[in-house]
Every structure is written in structure tokens, then in C-alpha cells.
Structure 1
Amino acid sequence: MRVIDREEVARRLTYELCIPIVREAMIAFSTGETRQLLRSIIPLADGRMFGLMPGALGEHAPFGAKVISVFPENFAKGRQSHQGLVVLFEPENGAPVCVVHAGEVTAIRTAAASAVATDALARPDARRLALLGYGEQAATHARAISKVRPLEAITVWGRSAERAQAFAAAMSAELGVPVTAAPDAKAAVAEADIVCTVSAAKEPILYGAWLKPGTHVNVVGSSYAGPVEVDNDLVAGSRFIADSREGVLAQGAEFLAAKAAGLIDDAHVVAEIGQVLAGQVEGRQSAAQITVYKSLGHVVQDLASAWALYKETESR
């Protein structure tokens, strides 16, 4: 049994490797090549969760599951909020062959998926990124988005001005791009071409009225029905793309809130990102259109990323 720990994942699962892997995984997902169930989530005390995500990369392909805990308060203590394992099984004999650090895979592949969506949906001339949130996903999203657009400026907002400023200083030094902490969320997104909501917010922190025409938004922080990061007007007024139609219809909090308000119906999910990537459905239709990518995260992304690390190790 091969074990790939956090340090090895962080070192080897680069964005240059992961972005194309996630891109192909989402095309395979939307064309029906992969197999997976909706995630099972057990709520725990104090907003914590325990989740199980099983899936297969195809009928005669690797399969496995991600078993993960989510403890949102961990970031403030210097730990990952997502902790767990990705367990891989080989397709020939059904044997378990590898265990991979799920927290680090999740951090990287989630941002890689947003980068894939941004590359497909954001305007080609997008240069300014806004991050609502300053945790681990904010950092990984800044790194990943910079791989698909030549960023000229990044703004960040979070509820702690001190932490937002520390994040800005660290990321500016790392990326060589000016990163500034905004006094509020409205100011953070005022000039943004790309916005990523990567928070633990339970109520909207981003409003559609704040965005300039042509903005692309990655809605990432809420991964189950309940907490919402953006308001109903943004959902209803956007071209709304999902990572999984089935997943968003069942667990996409922002979509479900706008639907409950009577503003949209299920047809408002115009496509899965895999359909856009495969050329089956048009993504952005005009320079002024607001596009939204709702990310729930799917185990085929984890399995494909983890399997690539395993196979590279085996081939040495």
C-alpha cells in the first residue's frame, strides 16, 4: 500500500499538472464516462462535518473514495479545515493500492477547478482578481488563477482586517503581483474582472449589484445546502454554470435559495462546466455578461489527481 503524505502532495501536485487533469476529469464527468454518488455529509457539532465521496473514473478505470472531516475553525489554529484520506483501488483486481492526503489534494484541485472554469468563462482580457476570504482556499485560488490569466492586481477582503493585510503581504511577495486588502467586500470587487468567494460565510457577502459588467465569479465556499455566499440577484442575473447539475440541484445553497425565492427554476443551470469545455454548450455569450461557476467539488477530481500522483510514482 503506497502512502502519499501532505508534503509529497504539495510538492508534486503542481497547478501545471493539476489544472489539465481536472479539466479532463470534468469533461469525462459530463460525458458520462465517470461514476459517482452524491456526497454523504453528516453534520457534527459547531458547524463541523464528516463526509464520504465515492466514485470511479470509468467502468474499467481506477475507483475509490474520499473520507474527510471539515472543521472550519482549524485555519485560525494553523491546521487545514479539510482533513482525511483519498483511498485508491486499481481496476484489474479491485485491490486498494494507495492512500493520499485528502486535505492537500482538496486544497489544490478545488483551486485548479476554479482556474479551469475561469479560463473557459472569464473574459480573455481579465486581469484583476478579487478574493472574498483569506484562508487556505484564497491562497490556492490566487496561485491557480494566475496560471490562466496574467493578473495585474489582486484585492482581498475578510472579516479580520489584520489577517487580510497579512495575507496580502504574503501573497504579493510570493506571486510578484500587487495584492491589497480592501476595507469591505464591496470595495474589494468594485474593479474586479474575476471574483472568487472562498469563505465560511452563512449569509451573502457578495451582491450582484456590486459587480461591473463582464465579471466572472467562482462561488466556492459553500459545499452543501444551507450557507450562502452570494445573493439571489447575482444568481438570477448570471449565466449559471455548475460543476455538476445534479449536485447543484440537490446541494447548491445559492442556487436553492434563489429558486426558493421564486426567481429561477432548474433550467437556470444552463450547463455543467464539462459541457462547456467539450464544446457542447456555449459558456460566456457576451463581453458584458456576468458568469457564475458554482463549485461543489466532486470526487472524480480527487481521484484523477491522486491517481496521477500514484502512477507517476509507480513508473519510476
Structure 2
Amino acid sequence: MALFLTEKDVAQLLTMPLALEAVEAAHRQLSAPDACDVPRQRTRLPQTTLHLLQGALPQLDAIGYKAYTSNRSGVRFLVHLFQASTGRLRAVFEGDRLGMMRTGAASGLATRWLARPDAQVAGVFGAGWQAEGHLEALAAVRPLRRVKVHARHAERLAAFCTRMSERLGIDVVPCASPEEVVRGSDIVSTVTTAATPLFSADWLSPGTHLNAAGSNSLIRRELGEDVLKRCSPIVVDSVETALREAGDLLPMLEKGRLQPRGLVELGDVICARRPGRTTDDEITLFESQGMAVQDLAVAVRLEALARARGLGVELPYGD
């Protein structure tokens, strides 16, 4: 029988090492190419938008989708995992934590493959739910000794820094200005809903690695053209998806100042099909949009753990 796993079930099972391993495996399969991924589709009404991501991982006998609605009252996520060989439903997951962890894992994975090995200082824009997973992933792949964080709301920022310092056992400190976050940081990550660029390229040090995780629509921009011009390589999770919704990249693509062939997929870096960082001075960039195969790879592992530990409830449909 198919299983249904709640947010509480997912929280008991999902760790960042599991998410990192799953997301890396998904990108390897996509680069092979043994997997397929369909860019996000949206159905819009004035009050609610439905977002749909679809994909398949044949090596895991998995096919499925994540659907979520966004509304003023909140965002609601569900991941549906099917058996690719039979079409039968395997599991349904409440997907808020799952999505947060796999989004963080994607940037952590990019940091593993693109940041300098000696990177120890990180700057983070954003102090929300998504920033938690993001920072946890960075700490899992690099020996961070200090993290500088900037966000719009001072109280939320202070609480975030205290909470993450205790959780990770590293120095996580609030910063009053964007410039303070960027200057002297080996890794700079943006996890916001910003509509305009967050910082100046002049503040970046040679050798910095950037993760941009918030700009997944035309109305969002975290990085300006001045920053993009300094980045090489520009790595994306999927070129097809980036060409549709990478708000940071689309203005330069539209002007012809950036060409699609200049974008590098993360899976190709992992599989050594394309180079990642080639010098210590390069400023590398990962633009994260999110992919169904990332969700499905995590979901497959969670299903197996749930069945082994007796978690979840059986659904009366799906066979």
C-alpha cells in the first residue's frame, strides 16, 4: 500500500547528509542522462497560484511530481512518488521541510564542487525558513568558522543567528548592512524574495563562491549585472529551467550579454563533463531554481526509511 508521510514524519527521517547524497545522485543521473525533469509550470488566479514540477529517476524506479499552492494564507506542498515500472503510487509526502532541505542541499552541493576548499567565512542574505536549510548545508560541506547574516527584520535576524549558532556550533552573527555581509566572505548566499539586487560587485573578494537561491521568477532579482559579469563559471541546476525563470539571468540573456551556451549544469560539473572552478581567484556562481528530480530523489530515500521504521499511514488508494 502507498504511504502518507506528514511533516512530522519527514522531520524524523530527513537529515542534511541524506539530502546532500540524494540531490547529488539526482544530478548525476540527470547528466547521464538517465533521468528527466520538466521545468516548473504555473496556473495563476488572482488569489492563488498552483505550481507543478514533474520528473523521473528510472534508476530508482521513480516518477512523480511536486504540487504546491501559494496564497496570502500560506504555501502548501505535496510530493507524489510513483513506481515508474508499474505506475503505482508509492508514497505521498507533505513537502515543506522536504523542499527546504533539498533546496539547501542543492546550494550545499554546489558549494562542495565550486567553492575553494579552504572557505571558512560565509555571508548569507535572508533569515527565513529556507535560510535554515541553506546554512546547514553550507556547514556540512565546508569547515565554517563564522557566518554573517543580513535580513530586513532585526528581531527575526537576531533569533535566527542565535538559533543557528546553537544548532551548528559555529559563530553566526547579524550584520547591519549588505556590505558587511559580503566583504571578506569566502561564500555568499542569497535566500530572499528580493526584487532588486542585494549588493555591489565591488564588495566581492577574488575567489568567492556565490549561491543565489531566491530568484525563481521574472519579478525577483538578487544579483545585478555587475555581479554576473564577474562570475565564471555560471552554474545552474538545469539550463532549460534557468532560461524560463532565472530572474537574475534573464535580463542579460535578453540583451545578448549572456548566452545560453555559457551556462553550465551542476550535474555536468559533478560528472566532470564541464569544468567548475579552475583557479583560486575565480568568482563562481550557482543559480538555483529547484527541480522535481531533487524532490523525488529525497522522497525515494524517505519512503524506504519510513517503511523500515514503521512510520506513515497507509493510503486507501493507489494500487
Report the TM-score when normalising by structure 2. Answer: 0.91
Equivalent residue number for residue 93 of structure 1:
86
Contact 1:236-1:258 within 8 A present in 2 as well:
no
User: Secondary structure in 2 aligned to 1:99?
Assistant: strand
Q: After superposition, give the CA deviation of every residue in 1:8-50 in whole Å (9 maximum; x if it has no partner).
A: 112211011110110010111122211222210234547x632
Kindly state the Cα deviation for residue 156 of structure 1 after the two structures are TM-superposed.
0.5
Specify which of 232, 236, 239 is matched with residue 242 of structure 1: 236
Distance in 2, Cα, partners of 1:165 & 1:43:
35
**Mapping for residues 1-316 of structure 1, pairs under 5 Å:** 1-45=2-46, 49-58=49-58, 61-71=61-71, 82-239=75-232, 240-269=234-263, 271-315=264-308
Kindly state the Cα deviation for residue 313 of structure 1 after the two structures are TM-superposed.
2.8
Kindly state the Cα deviation for residue 205 of structure 1 after the two structures are TM-superposed.
0.9
Kindly state the Cα deviation for residue 186 of structure 1 after the two structures are TM-superposed.
1.4
Distance in 2, Cα, partners of 1:36 & 1:131:
29
Contact 1:3-1:100 within 8 A present in 2 as well:
yes
Kindly state the Cα deviation for residue 268 of structure 1 after the two structures are TM-superposed.
2.5
Contact 1:198-1:220 within 8 A present in 2 as well:
yes
Contact 1:196-1:220 within 8 A present in 2 as well:
yes
Distance in 1, Cα, partners of 2:40 & 2:292:
9
Distance in 2, Cα, partners of 1:184 & 1:129:
15
Which ranges of structure 1 fall in alignment gaps of 5 or more residues?
75-80
Contact 1:34-1:55 within 8 A present in 2 as well:
yes
Kindly state the Cα deviation for residue 260 of structure 1 after the two structures are TM-superposed.
2.9
Q: After superposition, give the CA deviation of every residue in 1:187-222 in whole Å (9 maximum; x if it has no partner).
A: 111111111100011111133222111110111012
**Structure with the higher strand share, 1 or 2:** 2
Contact 2:60-2:300 within 8 A present in 1 as well:
no
Question: Which amino acid counterpart does residue 222 of structure 1 have in structure 2?
Answer: S
Distance in 2, Cα, partners of 1:214 & 1:89:
42
The change in CA–CA distance for 1:305 and 1:215 in structure 2 (over 3 A counts) is same
Report the TM-score when normalising by structure 1. Answer: 0.92
Contact 1:154-1:178 within 8 A present in 2 as well:
yes
Kindly state the Cα deviation for residue 248 of structure 1 after the two structures are TM-superposed.
0.8
Question: Which amino acid counterpart does residue 179 of structure 1 have in structure 2?
Answer: V
Equivalent residue number for residue 78 of structure 1:
none
Distance in 2, Cα, partners of 1:49 & 1:204:
25
Distance in 2, Cα, partners of 1:107 & 1:54:
17
Please, what is the CA RMSD of the aligned residues? 1.8
Distance in 1, Cα, partners of 2:42 & 2:187:
30
Bigger relative contact order (CA 8 A; separation at least 6): 2
Percent identity, aligned pairs only?
32
Contact 2:13-2:305 within 8 A present in 1 as well:
no
Equivalent residue number for residue 315 of structure 2:
none
Question: Which amino acid counterpart does residue 250 of structure 2 have in structure 1?
Answer: L
Which ranges of structure 2 fall in alignment gaps of 5 or more residues?
310-319
Question: Which amino acid counterpart does residue 29 of structure 1 have in structure 2?
Answer: L
User: Secondary structure in 2 aligned to 1:260?
Assistant: helix
Distance in 2, Cα, partners of 1:248 & 1:125:
29
Kindly state the Cα deviation for residue 59 of structure 1 after the two structures are TM-superposed.
7.8
Distance in 2, Cα, partners of 1:30 & 1:164:
38
